[in-house]
Amino acid sequence: MIISEKKPLEEILEYVKDAKKIIITGCSLCATTCKVGGEEELKEMKKILEENGKEVLGAKVLDPSCNFLKVKKDLKELKEELKEVDAIISLACGDGTQTVAKNVKVPVYPGNNTMFIGEIERVGQFAESCKACGECELGWTGGICPVTMCAKSLLNGPCGGAKDGKCEVNPENDCAWIMIYERLKELGQLDNLTAIRPVKDYKKAVNPRYINLKKKQEELAKA
């Protein structure tokens, strides 16, 4: 799940300082779960904008905001409003905001800051869990990501700076490698730690990345 937080209101208002007519979009998935881009948040943003002298022509929670063709279809419901609008505020993640921007010919401004890919620990609590590095290491680390959970992204054990089980970079965090050790011990897989892991090939994470499933299937069919 992509975790986002609201941008400071002052920053959003600065974006649209010269805009008079505005449309607000949200996202039905991640942003709604994070309480930054659902129906309630769109209503709140509409109220704030109107209090600041803006005219809100429309507000729509896109389903979801990161699906290009679906966004294109959903925005047709705002076809007339889009002819008059000066700007759009997107209450989605950075991906969702860019998807909206690709579908319109007016400025699209982010209302949120995209923080990380993470898990829902409980309602309103989120924890980072994945950096989308392109070469997953979870198979030999007991399901604990050293690239994300270790502040130094070490692949061959701890740095030696942990104290009382806590990371030396951020003492509020548990040492990832102590967690990995304990997990592998529990699973009877401590032998996984004896292999020397090669330097990570970050070329697989060069941005931007693309995946074309149809092309992959065609290549497999030819093989």
If pLDDT is split at 50, 70 and 90, which confidence band does 46 have? very high
Q: Which residue has the higher pLDDT, 143 or 217?
A: 143
How confident is the model over 126-158, as pLDDT tens digits?
Answer: 999 999 998 999 999 999 999 999 999 999 999
If pLDDT is split at 50, 70 and 90, which confidence band does 222 have? confident
Q: Where in the chain is the domain with CATH 3.40.50.2300?
A: 2-115
45: which residues sit within 8 A by CB, 6+ positions away?
24, 59, 89, 91, 111
111: which residues sit within 8 A by CB, 6+ positions away?
6, 7, 12, 24, 36, 37, 45, 89, 90, 91
pLDDT at 26: 98
Residue 25 has pLDDT above 90, yes or no: yes
User: Which of these, 100, 131, 88, 111, lies nearest to 35 by C-alpha position?
Assistant: 111
Residue 203 has pLDDT above 80, yes or no: no
Q: What is the dihedral of CA 116, 121, 125, 129, to 10 degrees?
A: -20
- Distance CA(27)–CA(127), nearest Å, equals 20
Q: What is the dihedral of CA 91, 94, 96, 102, to 10 degrees?
A: 110
Alpha carbon separation from 134 to 4, 63, 74, 125, 160 (Å, rounded): 22, 27, 31, 26, 27
How confident is the model over 49-95, as pLDDT tens digits?
Answer: 999 999 999 999 999 999 999 999 999 999 999 999 999 999 999 99
Q: What is the dihedral of CA 137, 138, 139, 143, to 10 degrees?
A: 160
- Distance CA(200)–CA(154), nearest Å, equals 10
If pLDDT is split at 50, 70 and 90, which confidence band does 210 have? confident
As separate numbers, helices (DSSP H) first and strands (DSSP E) second, the chain gives 9, 7
Residue 221 has pLDDT above 90, yes or no: no
Kindly state the average pLDDT of the residues 92-114: 97
Predicted TM-score of the model (pTM): 0.89
What CATH code would you report for 2-115? 3.40.50.2300
pLDDT at 127: 95
66: which residues sit within 8 A by CB, 6+ positions away?
27, 29, 92, 93, 95, 96, 99
The alpha carbon of 50 is separated from its chain's Cα centroid by a whole number of angstroms, namely 29
Residue 23 has pLDDT above 80, yes or no: yes
Q: What is the mean pLDDT of the chain?
A: 95
Kindly state the average pLDDT of the residues 19-33: 98
Residue 174 has pLDDT above 90, yes or no: yes
